[in-house]
Amino acid sequence: LKHYDWCLFFWQLAIEKILKGIVTKKGLAAPPIHNLYKLAKIAQIPVDEKNKEMLNEITTFNIEARYDDYKFSFYKKATPEYTKKWIKNCQAVYLWLQKFI
C-alpha cells in the first residue's frame, strides 16, 4: 500500500508523547495540543533554530495525516525518499529529547 504518510504520522505522535512526558515530569499539565515546538517551549527545553524547524515540520505530519483536507496531498508528499529523510530526522529529535527526561 505504501502508506509512508502513516509512518511519519506515528513518528509525530511518538515525539509529541515524549514532549508531553517531559512537561508532566516538570509538574506541569500537558496541554491538548499537537504543536511540537510549543510543547518544547512549555517543557522549557532550549531549542536551536535547526531543531525548531524540524519540530515545526514534524508537527505538520499530524495535521496533514489527520484532517481530510490535507490527507491526499500529504500522501503524495510522503515519497519513499522524503519519508526516509524524515525518519532519520525524527530519530535524531527523539534521541535529543530523551536527554530531558
Total structural domains in the chain?
Answer: 1
In degrees, rounded to 5, the angle at the alpha carbon of residue 50 between the alpha carbons of residues 48 and 36 is: 80
Average pLDDT (15-25) is 98
Contacts by residues 87-92 (CB-CB < 8 Å, ≥ 24 positions apart):
87/7, 87/8, 87/11, 89/54, 89/57, 89/58, 90/8, 90/11, 90/12, 90/14, 90/15, 90/58, 92/54
Average pLDDT (36-40) is 99
Can you give the pLDDT at residue 67? 75
- Residue 50 pLDDT > 90: yes
- Residue 66 pLDDT > 80: no
Domain region containing 62: 4-98
What is the residue-averaged pLDDT of the chain? 94
